[in-house]
Chains A and B, each alone.
Chain A
């Protein structure tokens, strides 16, 4: 049973660039949520996708956007990168648009120089 997979595992970008991160949910799950985890902090909710629509959003600027595809996989896009965007980006999957019992991937470590 494949768990949540994320790519790439590591990424280095410079300020002002754009980045796309990818996530495939756990088999059987249809909901994908994205979290940002800065060093020494807990994960912070960015947004959630269910039925190919953004259903909920945390306190993140419009530079953060996403997409969900018909096969339930998802992308996170960040435009105009800032140094403060350096973090571990986690994807979590669940069922039915709910936030119960999330299954997390191992994350993408983004470094902005």
Chain B
């Protein structure tokens, strides 16, 4: 069964304290790995897509990396406005279809 697991479930950081969020996946037919940010009461907002092991993408204080079994979202010197739930999702191909399977997310709180 295809699975996407995120850890930790929740993370509290002091402003400026760098850390990483983990997304591990056991899927067949991975076509891409996506990261989204979700604020309370809002829909997910697209951040990155990674397609192959070794690939890296950066945006402001965020950097996403991908290996054959997991992806990391590195947050450098976070600010309070980075507080949100971060979701990863695997785009899986099978029987002619492509579906996104999401993890449960990591709730990040950045304390001033």
Interface contact B43-A56, CB-CB below 8 Å: no
Check B43 against A42 for contact (C-beta < 8 Å): no
B41: which A residues are within 8 A, CB to CB?
106
Count chain A residues whose beta carbon lies closer than 8 angstroms to a beta carbon of B.
Answer: 22
Contacting residues, chain A, for B99 (C-beta < 8 A)? 45, 56, 58, 99
**Number of CB contacts from chain A to chain B under 8 A:** 51
Q: Tell me the dominant secondary structure on chain B's binding face.
A: strand
Chain B interface residue count, Cβ-Cβ cutoff 8 angstroms? 23
Could you mark each residue 85-113 of chain A with 1 if its beta carbon is under 8 Å from any beta carbon of chain B, else 0?
A: 00000101000001111111111000000
B101 touches A45 (CB 8 A): yes
Which of B12-20, B55-63, B70-78, B102-110 makes up part of the contact surface? B102-110
**What are 22 A-to-B residue pairs whose CB atoms are below 8 Å?**
A4-B43, A40-B104, A42-B4, A42-B89, A42-B105, A43-B44, A43-B87, A43-B100, A45-B100, A56-B99, A58-B99, A90-B43, A98-B98, A99-B98, A99-B100, A100-B49, A100-B91, A102-B44, A102-B100, A103-B46, A104-B36, A107-B42
